[in-house]
């Protein structure tokens, strides 16, 4: 089975780093995000990849190449103009010909979740969910309003967010826009028709790299989780 990595965005919130390189090439613990992603998926028996590239595409193509250095095979779907997450996947349809099912991953996340569990998520199409992480530290108080402790940015385990990891069948292409984001086009349409399932991952490492602070925090968390 193939995996698609969406790696064509601008990463504006990570400037000035992304003035010099595309977001998936930002290094965490001395390796680019996209290389971490390929190694993670390869460790889950996924050996064929389609990388959707656009902004500063040469950086990614020159670094990853054919994928042979990482023990995988890689093809590239090139965006001549920004297409959004939905349009980018639709642009890759030709490279997924003959694939009845495939995985898709946003190019700015780091995780160790098991993608194969998504195939048992209860839907023809499914997405991974992880607990919402509070952006703030939480103060714990007792019934008398006395402070009994502090928890730094805890996971809020009764609220779930899209982890940016998906399992789709080839039917997804009939829902995709030529230009637009899958989160506001195809996914709501699938949900409305009852064709979208989800798998909750409560105790996995997951981090989205959206800011400079995320890079440092992700490195510390990966070391703590012994992800190498």
Element (H, E) at 206: strand 206-208
Please say whether the beta carbons of 19 and 47 come within 8 A.
no
The catalytic residues are: 153
Whole-angstrom distance, CA of residue 133 vs CA of residue 6: 23
What's the domain range around 87? 2-131+157-224
Classify residue 216: in a domain, yes or no.
yes
Q: Looking at the domain assignment, is residue 142 inside a domain?
A: no
What is the total count of domains within the chain? 1
Query: In the predicted model, what is the mean pLDDT of the chain?
Result: 89
In whole angstroms, what is the distance from residue 27 CA to residue 219 CA? 10
Q: What is the pLDDT of residues 45-104, one digit of tens each?
A: 999 999 999 989 999 999 999 999 999 999 999 999 989 999 999 999 999 988 899 999
Q: Is residue 136 part of a domain?
A: no
Q: What is the CATH number of the domain that holds 210?
A: 3.90.550.10
């Amino acid at each position: 089975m193939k995996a698609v990595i969406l790696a064509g965005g601008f990463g504006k919130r990570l400037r000035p780093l992304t003035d010099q390189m595309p977001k998936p090439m930002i290094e965490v613990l001395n390796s680019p995000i996209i290389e971490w992603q390929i190694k993670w998926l390869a460790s889950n028996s996924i050996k064929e990849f389609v990388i959707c590239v656009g902004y500063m595409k040469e950086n990614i193509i020159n670094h990853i190449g054919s994928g042979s250095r990482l023990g995988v095979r890689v093809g590239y779907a090139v965006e001549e103009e920004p297409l959004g997450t939905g349009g980018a996947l639709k642009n890759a349809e030709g490279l997924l010909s003959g694939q009845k099912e495939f995985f898709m991953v946003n190019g700015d996340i780091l995780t160790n979740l098991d993608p194969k569990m998504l195939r048992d998520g209860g839907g023809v199409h499914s997405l991974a969910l992880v607990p919402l992480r509070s952006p703030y530290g939480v103060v714990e108080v007792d019934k008398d309003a006395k402070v009994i402790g502090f928890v730094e940015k805890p996971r809020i385990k009764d609220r779930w967010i899209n982890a940016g990891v998906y399992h789709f069948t080839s039917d997804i292409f009939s829902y995709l826009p030529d230009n637009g984001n899958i989160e506001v086009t195809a996914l709501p349409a699938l949900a409305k028709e009852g064709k979208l399932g989800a798998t909750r991952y409560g105790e996995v490492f997951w981090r989205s790299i959206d800011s400079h602070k995320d890079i440092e925090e992700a490195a510390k968390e990966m070391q703590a989780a012994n992800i190498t």
